[in-house]
Amino acid sequence: MLSTGTTPEAGLRGRLEQFGLATVLTFLDLERRSGELLLVADDKIGRLWLRRGQVLRARIQASRRVNRAAIYDLLGLDRGLFSFTQRDLDDMDDEIGAPTTLLLMEAARRIDEAAAAT
pTM confidence score: 0.88
Amino acid at 115: A
Q: How far apart are alpha carbons 104 and 2 in whole angstroms?
A: 34
- DSSP H helical ranges for 1-118: 21-30, 67-74, 100-117
Helix axes 21-30, 100-117, angle to 10 degrees: 160
Q: How far apart are alpha carbons 113 and 91 in whole angstroms?
A: 37
pLDDT value of residue 51: 98
pLDDT value of residue 2: 44
Burial class (CB in 10 A: 0-12, 13-18, 19+), 103: buried
pLDDT value of residue 72: 95
Confidence of residue 3 (pLDDT cuts 50, 70, 90): very low
Determine which of 19-28, 60-69, 107-116 has the lowest per-residue pLDDT on average: 107-116
Mean pLDDT of 63-88: 95
